[in-house]
Structure 1
């Protein structure tokens, strides 16, 4: 049975969400830390950017500054992040990974290597080539 355009789009969206959900579930199971989704997102942003202000974190996460403050307080108390004052402006702070955060970063690097190898080993070279072309086309459409 041939699906119509909207049905295909809906199915792609559903399966994509399922893949993301499976990836996140495996990711949470990989680390020995008990972190919720928002904590993982915040730490991931710091892994990618090295340091961000609480305002930048709130903007990136699309949550309130007070919600970020609560997240930071818990993560700071547990040794995942540290707040540092800017040298030029003592009222402003930047947030960086602390010791546990750096360990978490290394665990996530290992997880990514392991899961991506498993993921991509499930495809032939031709399938990977086709996937790359489709991803590039998706990117170009959004530009």
Structure 2
């Protein structure tokens, strides 16, 4: 890759970072800043799947069962999640959202709608469609590269 392209992509990354940082500052007072990105991803997985086994969660997050347990301890302390033993297999633990987790995700959704209404809605529809196409392509490249790396590691 040539220097001009690298410089352009570094600038693009900086713009993305700046936008993310400004939005974080704008909405920081509303969010619990003690929630890590991995914890938020976990809450989103639980919302999507309902309940999940801790082992499945470790696989989804690509982290060790021990790391999942440590993270869940923190979320459980804040009542974001609850754990219970699988009645059919006492060696398995189910995890699901607790009320504070549901409330947190609802607040996140309200913030997301505010961002859409205040910022994205000011962009022309064609630009938004183009942005979606580009971000979808970028996501597909990341998925493909991750799959290639994982198959190479086997």
State the TM-score, normalized to the length of structure 1. 0.74
Counterparts of 2:23 and 2:87 in 1: how far apart (Å)? 39
Q: Which runs of 5+ in 2 are unaligned?
A: 145-154
- Equivalent residue runs for 1:30-109 within 5 Å: 30-31=30-31, 33=32, 35-37=34-36, 38-109=38-109
> Structure 1 residues 62, 27: CA separation in 2 closer, same or farther (over 3 Å shift)?
farther
Question: Deviation of residue 123 (structure 1)?
Answer: 0.7
Q: Give the number of equivalent residue pairs.
A: 140
Greater displacement, 127-136 / 113-122: 127-136
Counterparts of 2:140 and 2:63 in 1: how far apart (Å)? 29
SS in 2 for 1:74: helix
Counterparts of 2:41 and 2:116 in 1: how far apart (Å)? 19
Matched, 1:111 2:106: no
Deviations 1:11-41 (A, max 9, x none): 222322333444455554323x453314333
CA contact (8 A) 1:53 1:93 kept: yes
Q: Which runs of 5+ in 1 are unaligned?
A: none
CA contact (8 A) 1:28 1:35 kept: no
Question: Deviation of residue 81 (structure 1)?
Answer: 0.7
